[in-house]
Structure 1
């Protein structure tokens, strides 16, 4: 049987991608997707995973959440968080995603950093869809995930002799 992608056969290479190329790929993934699964820790130590629509600025992702939501309560108690972002999977060659491991912080609308994030948050489309006025921006808090490590997976990297899993850490 002919192989569509023969470079997927055999052992995976272990070469590291140059940092600038890895960063470009991660930023491309974060800016071309909009759904993530956020994993927090419940009070009893069990995991809680929640899908959210996110936006990104650099390597940070952020989303809105009510202060009373389970994920927000969990993050107030323990700010450690993991988030998974992934592109649609059609086959092994299209496998592409990132796991962000870091710390979350929630900021209210009046926080000095809030405007920077709200400028990147495309709330207008959701408001239009829900019939809300576009001259009244949201007052919801934003939760920002700052990664201290990103595990990036892209099996297409094997084609060029690079490991399909690459690790990024802030400089």
Structure 2
């Protein structure tokens, strides 16, 4: 039987990408997707929540209702994990990242908010909800700056690199 991607068979390579190439691939993934799964922990145990996000460098940003379960969990323990992945067709197309960091909740008066808010495309959500674009929202902004990232891309095997790569801030 012919193999579609013969480079997937055999031993898995363990060679590491240099930091610049790894960062380029991670940033490409973060900027080419808009959905993630946010993992938090609360009194009832783990919670995995799909969230629409916007990237800024190695940070992901989203807004959330202050009383939502994910926000209650973040208030109790701001350590989070975020899973981002590209659509999967088969093993060769497997591409994703696990980001680990501490969630920061920035209210509208927070001095760091303006830096992140410029990357947040609130206009899309306002248009969806029929709200005027002349009135920017005052929603709470959640920022997760990745402290470490586990990046997976099986296509890297073609060039002799390990499909799982590790990044730290």
Query: TM-score, with normalisation over the residues of structure 2?
Result: 0.97
User: What RMSD in Å do the two structures reach over aligned CA positions?
Assistant: 0.8
Aligned residues, how many?
169
Alignment of 1:1-171 (within 5 A): 1-44=1-44, 46-170=45-169
- The Cα shift of 1:57 comes to 0.8
1:117-164 CA-partner distances (Å, limit 9, x unpaired):
111111112211221100011111111112211000000000000000
- The 1-side partners of 2:126 and 2:77 are apart by 31
Structure 1 unaligned residues grouped into runs of 5+: none
- Partner SS for 2:118: helix
1:7-57 CA-partner distances (Å, limit 9, x unpaired):
01111100011110000000000000000000000114x110000000111
Query: TM-score, with normalisation over the residues of structure 1?
Result: 0.96
Moved over 3 A (4+): none
Structure 2 unaligned residues grouped into runs of 5+: none
- Partner SS for 2:158: helix
- The 1-side partners of 2:77 and 2:13 are apart by 37
- The 1-side partners of 2:136 and 2:62 are apart by 15
